[in-house]
Amino acid sequence: MSSQITISTLESQHVATELFKQGRLEDASRLLSETISQKESGDLWNDWAVVQLGLAERALRRALQLGPARPEIAANLGVLLFSTGKRDEAVPLLQQALASASGPPRVQIETLLAICSGNENEDSANPLGCCAGKIPLVQRGQKMGRPRGSQFHQAWRCRGCGYMFFDTPPLESLAAYYQDEYPKSATSWYNADNDYEESHCASRAQDVLQFVKKYSDTTTPLLHECGCSFGGTVAKLRSLGYEATGTELNSSAVRDGTSKGNRWIFAESEADFFRHNLADYDAVYLYHALEHMPSAAGFLTDIRSAVQKQGIVFIAVPNSFNYFSLSKSFTDNSWFAFPDHLHYFSSGSLPCLARAAGYEILEADTRMLASSDADAAALMGIHPDSYEWQLRERVIQRALMGHELRFVLTPVGSGVASRFAEQTRNTHAICMQAREQEVRLLEFCAR
């Protein structure tokens, strides 16, 4: 078929379809391109794209004939065949490409092979619903986890990013653990006096107010803390003149907090609290609480309506991809705990968390070198505050490998998301770049 034939747009589509069926892909592509140049439409572009897929398959097959040992050609053809439903043909090509693949491409190929073999089922899914599924967390050839009684609890990681997690135990046993065992095991720091310590409260309150001022125009923000423990930060914000409340499932902690005169903390779930406190919150914040939730994404989904119009969610959690765990051992990290900490997020996993819960990522950073000064000193092997210490710390934080991950979210479609659209795009790009680094280093650590 050539440009010498003059026919209507509808006739062109019919002729192009027949040419495609006859395998005359170049003629079909040429005819559709000429027709589009005269008058484009969605149907014409769709037909053109389908023809290009056929041309791409033909080109890749020929390329593989000329370079049968080229893994990148095998990968490209395998992915194309998979996407067009030719999975039986895709499998040997993907297996050929897998032998030399690394980083994110390797994860993608493994995922496609798992789907082709029928292994991509509920057992291989992870709590964020990442298509990459899950694999055991391995370090120096050893599976990582935590023993509890006579049982070893395997830690898992996403195959495509630094997200790590433990399987969630039955909710009844988890509730019993937090009501009895957890408070007794953490009495040295989990108490009202420690929670109301001035510098501790002032630092956290300042963090919250810093983000509120950055993303909100109001001078009278409405604030709420999820998992507020004894309510020290809530009390500090109230003393500074801000309207703040908190919720905490541990009724004993709330009782101890109210005994200090704090009337703004409540022993109930956030879902129940927001159900009878229908207000537009400017900021909801969580300090080392999200990692405890049976379903982190589900929890963020439940509280989204509270900040849907104009609010943000500020979160601080253990960073799964931290330098201490990678250089020493995950088992040497006190924050690697079960059943206390069920989820471990990284900057590279934040896009998956945000997608699963309906949020945009405004910003993310890390801080701290370890969970304690002693651990940090042992890690660095040099005197704190020395030049070498400060240099290494800056490098670690620049790589987003600090011990604590801090990030700010806002619901998709919120006023904040609209005003800071460019920033969210940039932050997403940074997180995706971090994801590539995470996959490479976690594969290295597993050897």
| DSSP letter string, 364-432 | EEEE-SSSSHHHHHHHH-S-TTSHHHHHHHHHHHHTT-SSEEEEEEEETT-HHHHHTHHHHHHHHHHHH
Least confident window among 28-42, 276-290, 415-429: 28-42
Is the distance from CB of 318 to CB of 291 less than 8 angstroms? yes
Q: Please name the CATH architecture into which domain 176-446 falls.
A: 3-Layer(aba) Sandwich (3.40)
Tokens of 329: 């051992």
Tokens of 229: 């423990």
For CATH 1.25.40.10, the residue range(s) in the chain are 9-121
- Nearest CA to 281 out of 358, 224, 236 is that of 224
Omega into 136 within 30° of 0, i.e. cis?
no
Is the distance from CB of 25 to CB of 54 less than 8 angstroms? yes
Tokens of 307: 């900040």
Q: Is 70 exceeded by the pLDDT of residue 4? A: no
Q: What's the DSSP call for residue 169?
A: P
Phi-psi region of 81 (alpha: psi -120 to 50; beta: other; left: phi over 0): alpha
Q: What's the mean pLDDT in 163-183?
A: 91
Is the distance from CB of 29 to CB of 51 less than 8 angstroms? yes
The domain made up of 9-121 has a fold known as: 1.25.40
Q: What's the rounded Cα separation, in Å, for the pair 226 and 249?
A: 9
For CATH 3.40.50.150, the residue range(s) in the chain are 176-446
Q: Which residues pair with 318 in a beta bridge?
A: 404
pLDDT band at 1 (very low <50, low <70, confident <90, very high): very low
Segment holding 219, helix H or strand E: none
Q: What's the rounded Cα separation, in Å, for the pair 322 and 329?
A: 10
Give the global pTM. 0.75
What does pLDDT average to over the chain? 89
Q: What's the mean pLDDT in 214-226?
A: 96
Q: How far is CA 293 from CA 11, 32, 266, 312, in A?
A: 60, 54, 18, 19
Q: Is 60 exceeded by the pLDDT of residue 124? A: no
SS3 330: helix
pLDDT band at 121 (very low <50, low <70, confident <90, very high): very low
Q: What's the rounded Cα separation, in Å, for the pair 324 and 205?
A: 27
